Amino acid sequence: MLGSMVGVKILARAKPKAIKWMVIWLLLFAGLRALLKGLEIWK
């Protein structure tokens, strides 16, 4: 919750390009995690 408040300030100042890569890395992590869980490699 405290992190969110800091995050808002960073979001306002950060470059959109940086945000784009941030989103891509987060999605990549989430996607791989779900896929590996589905395939029962990482339970």
Partner 1 sequence: MIHSRKVLKILIVVLSIMVIFVSISAFASQTQEAAKETASASTAPWWVWPLALFVVTFILGILAVLGGVGGGVLFVPIIGGFFPFNIDFVRGAGLLVALAGALAAGPGLLRRNLASLRLALPVALIASSAAIIGAMIGLALKPNVVNTLLGATILFIVAIMVTAKKSDFPNVAKPDNLSQSLHIMGIYREESLGKDIEWQVHRTPQGLALFIIIGIMAGMFGLGAGWANVPVLNLLMGAPLKISVATSKFLLSITDTSAAWVYLNQGAVLPMIVVPS
CA distance 22 to 1: 19
Q: Give me the 16-35 binding string for partner 1, x by CB under 8 A, dash otherwise.
A: xx-xx-xxx-xxxxxxxxxx
Q: Does 9 sit near partner 1 (CB under 8 A)? A: yes
For residue 41, state whether it binds partner 1 (rule: CB under 8 A): no
In angstroms, the CA 31 to CA 3 distance is 24
Positive/negative CA dihedral, 24, 30, 33, 36: negative
Could you tell me the smallest distance in angstroms from the CB atom of residue 23 to partner 1? 5
Can you give the binding site for partner 1, defined by CB under 8 A? 1-17, 19-20, 22-24, 26-40
